[in-house]
Chains A and B, each alone.
Chain A
């Protein structure tokens, strides 16, 4: 694994997480300055009923503007997009986001695999996927899809994860480009497209 390799052609950074991942994001996002050349998409396992709480939380915690995701919302660089509760989030070829209420995958809707796989096909080598803490095996297939389309995959260090199962499962079954703790994840995001 090559440390501090700068990712130069990223269009979309997609982050998936479950139990224990929100805390990580709440440490990383307040420290991030504005992004201009890529979009951040966040797919977290969340309760059906919580409405827009997660969006509001991010709006409070980061300078980067958060766009509400509705069906066919255009995906633009410079913004954060959060997968809404109880829908799968998909990526269209014409840079729009689509939603889907089909059956849960890995007991989850939104499912990280569904979004990662869909983004992988559209953004290919311009995609960076990060998988964080969680107690579910969601995300592993999605990381493999990102890798197979030439994207970069990053997994949170299990010893740095509150619930290490999800990162461990992914490390075992993929070939990660990076295995990082939350501080290193922050540094990696900060250097994306900086050259």
Chain B
């Protein structure tokens, strides 16, 4: 087990060598991820790990991948997507053009879920979906629109539970254990690297989704990210968070109104 002092050294060195700032990450989670990585990769001690991170840029990439959690699925929390389908998107659909931002999109499963919803609501043609992540490797995966075929059974169940009525398999072509999603879904997606820790707002959006990303941040960094979202939302735009995330501990909550018990807030000020 590495100690707090060592975590501090690691965070400082990573910033100095690579310019990435992990100082605002949740201590409990960050430490656990680093400990796990040391164990997984068989380092004898912290020093050995640290010098590998300093000297091997490829290994550093691996570290970032392992520390930033990339667990995601299509139509994760189906009831959330049901509310999007039945309430939020029809409201946004009255606009001539709709901009979405998936912040921390990982390998893109939720981005494709959104595109499918928009297509079914006949809104995809006037939508643009920005999908960003700190980690370039996951974006390369997302851009391909190819996912493991073995996951499709689960995704299809999620899709149906979210109110989908089509045969889910008609959105992809199965081949050699992979499912390639149709090109039309990809046409309205823009992928780019963006860091919620250090980058600024880059557009104005009608719906920002950032689900289970800020749970890895400490309170201060969460506040920074929430300000960034606030700055990036059009008035009466929506912010969607993960099922166990909330803005109720932030002073910004007065600018938002929660949609019933959903983890969706409307910007009212």
Contact = CB atoms under 8 A, between A and B. Distances in A.
Interface of A: 69-72, 84, 87, 90-94, 96, 98-103, 114, 117-118, 122
The DSSP consensus for interface residues of chain A is: loop
A142 to B, nearest CB: 12
A71 B245 CA distance: 5
B157 to A, nearest CB: 11
Nearest to B67: A102
Interface residues of B, number: 22
Given A70-B245, A71-B214, A118 B33 contact: no
A98 B222 contact: no
Contacts of B32: 90, 100, 102, 114, 117-118
A59 to B, nearest CB: 16
Task: Give the top 9 A-B pairs by smallest Cβ distance, nearest first.
Answer: A90-B28, A71-B215, A102-B69, A70-B246, A98-B26, A99-B215, A70-B244, A101-B71, A100-B29
Nearest to B222: A72
B71 A103 contact: yes
A141 B245 CA distance: 28
Contacts of B215: 71, 87, 98-101
Q: Which of B26, B212, B242 has the most CB of A within 10 A?
A: B26
A122 B27 CA distance: 11
A92 B244 contact: no
A92 B26 contact: yes
B216 interface: yes
Interface of B: 26-29, 32-33, 69, 71, 212, 214-216, 218-219, 222, 242-246, 248-249
A96 B219 contact: yes
Contacts of B244: 69-71, 84, 87, 99
The DSSP consensus for interface residues of chain B is: loop
Contacts of B216: 100
11 contacts: A71-B214, A71-B246, A72-B249, A90-B32, A92-B26, A92-B27, A98-B26, A99-B215, A99-B244, A100-B69, A101-B215
A166 to B, nearest CB: 22
Contacts of B71: 101-103
Contacts of A93: 27-28
A14 to B, nearest CB: 14
A72 B28 contact: no
A101 B212 contact: yes
A101 B214 CA distance: 11
A92 B222 CA distance: 14
Nearest to A145: B1
A90 B217 CA distance: 13
A132 B159 CA distance: 37
A109 to B, nearest CB: 9
Contacts of B28: 90-93, 98, 118, 122
A72 B223 CA distance: 12
Contacts of A92: 26-28, 218
A43 to B, nearest CB: 14
Given A87-B244, A103-B71, A98 B249 contact: no
A61 B214 CA distance: 33
